[in-house]
Structure 1
Amino acid sequence: MKTYLNILIVFLMIFSSNKIIAQKDSTALQRKARKMVREGNKLYSQNQFTDASVAYKKALGNNANYDKASYNLGNAMYQNKNFKEAVPQYELSAKTAEDKFSKAEAYHNLGNTMMETKNYQGAVNAYKNSLRNNPNDDETRYNLAVAQKMLDKENQDNKDDKDNKDNKDKDKKDKDDKDKDKDKKEGDDEKDKKDDGKDDKDKDGKDEKDKNKDQKDDPKKDDKDQKPKQQQGKMSPEQIKQLLESLNNEEKKTQKKMNAQKAKGKKVKQEKDW
């Protein structure tokens, strides 16, 4: 029993010793962090923002939750116009700050940084968080009004751009539709022309086919059309001879009739039969 008691005492002594050592180490780190912050503040006051940033980072290396180090590091980066790098430092400071006033300052500077990057919605949110922790800060309230105005303007511009884009897309669609209608009409006109030409061709082909059919049905007609016509008034010698004989006979008959009618006093006009 006595042995167990001795072991327990030794264990408690070791535990207490380690705790004391850890506390001493933590205190030493906190002292180093505060020392680096003071060094950074001195450099910051001399406008040596880059060197000041290095000192603040060393302070955070010794104490990651040191809100003053993260806040001052954000300020140094802001002064160097490293706005994107400053944002997470202010967010960390707002998260680790132990009092509302410190939180309000961190959110206020976060809002200023958001304004620099034209993140107006983020700025509005940051300023509102700052006022929640310090409602009496008139500067923050003014900055919130400016950020809200810029946000409204941005939304309106985006809406106008969208409307303009929609109108352009509509105009382009209407133009494309008109071009399509025009192309379709021209295509229909060209098709009609082709159809008319085809109809004429088919008609000509049909007429030619009918003609060929007629020639096939009436070979004599085709032969007649194909042979040259005999000239009018031209007769063969045999036809002339026959005609003269016929005329002589008719003349004799006529002479007899005329002689017979002279007594009556009537003259008759004789028509030729050719």
Structure 2
Amino acid sequence: MKNFKYIFILGLALISINSFAQKERKYIRQGNKEFEKADYDNSEVSYRKAVDLEEKKTHEPEFNVGDALYKQEKYDDAAEQFKNLADYELSKEEKAKVYHNLGNSFLQSKKYQKSIEAFKNALRNNPTDLDTKYNLAYAQKKLEEQQQQQQQQDQDQNEDKQNQNQDKNKQDKQDQNKEQQQQQQPEISKEDAERILQALANDEKDTQQKVKEQQAAAAKVKVEKEW
């Protein structure tokens, strides 16, 4: 699938310029200039000043605040801004624009399920918007990829856990066999040990006696020969 289209709808223009208060419009124009220069921090400040001076709730400066937040990559804040706007009584066209940008904000935060719902709401208000349709399809594909990746991670974790259990069982079995072998080794009683020691002592005594006898015999033979 092609890369996601970063199509962002700027400004609602709900009513004509003449209906805005002078200062409010001044800040909106200032914010627009800053926005065009990619000075999104200051454009947000200007738009917020316009919101504070807004006499009739047209919601254009509030919408533009959401745009500025989005451009600053403050996607969660932008989503909150558009979400609040969606609760107002707007025309179907305006609602579609708000939900479109809400969907984009969720999409950038990798909240694909929420993004899909927002794009669907946008299409309910403007079924012919091709950009929203494209972004909806893109979000659906990203959600599928995310779910597959999560499924693979879960499977890998389960396999690792099974391997660890097998290794543990193998080690436990080896330890058990070693313990059994040690237990199976014949034990000697105290009485048997004493008998064996006594027998060894007797053998040693007999051996020493034989050695003495042999030495005496050898000495006798030697004397007889010399004489």
**TM-score strictly above 0.5:** yes
Task: Choose which of 65, 71, 78 in structure 2 pairs with 1:73.
Answer: 65
Match of 2:143 in 1: 151
What letter matches 1:204 in structure 2? D
- Structure 1 position 204 matched with structure 2 position 195: no
1:66 deviates by 4.3
For residues 38 and 193 of structure 2, what CA distance do their matches in structure 1 show? 101
Task: Choose which of 159, 162, 179 in structure 2 pairs with 1:167.
Answer: 159
Q: Which string of whole-angstrom CA distances, capped at 9 and with x for unpartnered residues, describes residues 209-258 of structure 1?
A: xx9xxxxxxxxxxxxxxxx9xxxxxxxxxxxxxxxxxxxxxxxxxxxxxx
What letter matches 1:169 in structure 2? K
Question: Relative contact order (C-alpha < 8 Å, sep 6+): which is higher?
Answer: 2
Task: Choose which of 26, 31, 41 in structure 2 pairs with 1:50.
Answer: 41
Task: Choose which of 27, 35, 47 in structure 2 pairs with 1:36.
Answer: 27
1:138 deviates by 1.2
For residues 76 and 176 of structure 1, what CA distance do their matches in structure 2 show? 56
1:125 deviates by 1.3
Percent of pairs identical after alignment?
29
What letter matches 2:51 in structure 1? L
Aligned partners of 1:70 and 1:92 also within 8 Å: no
DSSP-derived class of the 1:96 partner: coil
Match of 1:125 in 2: 117
- Structure 1 position 191 matched with structure 2 position 183: yes
**Structure 1 residues 36, 75: CA separation in 2 closer, same or farther (over 3 Å shift)?**
same
Q: Which consecutive unaligned segments of at least 5 residues does structure 2 have?
A: 1-18, 200-208, 210-227
- Taking the TM superposition and a 5 Å limit, the aligned residue runs for 1:76-155 are 76-96=68-88, 98-155=90-147
Q: Which string of whole-angstrom CA distances, capped at 9 and with x for unpartnered residues, describes residues 150-176 of structure 1?
A: 101111111111111011101100110
1:97 deviates by 5.1
What letter matches 1:42 in structure 2? K
DSSP-derived class of the 1:55 partner: helix
What letter matches 1:87 in structure 2? A
For residues 20 and 89 of structure 2, what CA distance do their matches in structure 1 show? 16
Match of 2:212 in 1: none
Aligned partners of 1:60 and 1:66 also within 8 Å: no
Aligned partners of 1:94 and 1:104 also within 8 Å: no
Aligned partners of 1:67 and 1:97 also within 8 Å: no
What letter matches 1:43 in structure 2? E
Match of 2:205 in 1: none
Q: CA RMSD in A?
A: 2.9
- Structure 1 position 61 matched with structure 2 position 52: yes
* TM-score scaled by length of structure 1: 0.59
**Structure 1 residues 96, 63: CA separation in 2 closer, same or farther (over 3 Å shift)?**
farther
Considering fraction of residues, name the structure with more helix: 1
Q: Which moved more, 1:119-128 or 1:33-42?
A: 33-42
For residues 110 and 124 of structure 2, what CA distance do their matches in structure 1 show? 23
For residues 93 and 35 of structure 1, what CA distance do their matches in structure 2 show? 22
Query: Who wins on radius of gyration, i.e. which is larger?
Result: 1
What number of residue pairs does the alignment pair up? Answer: 183
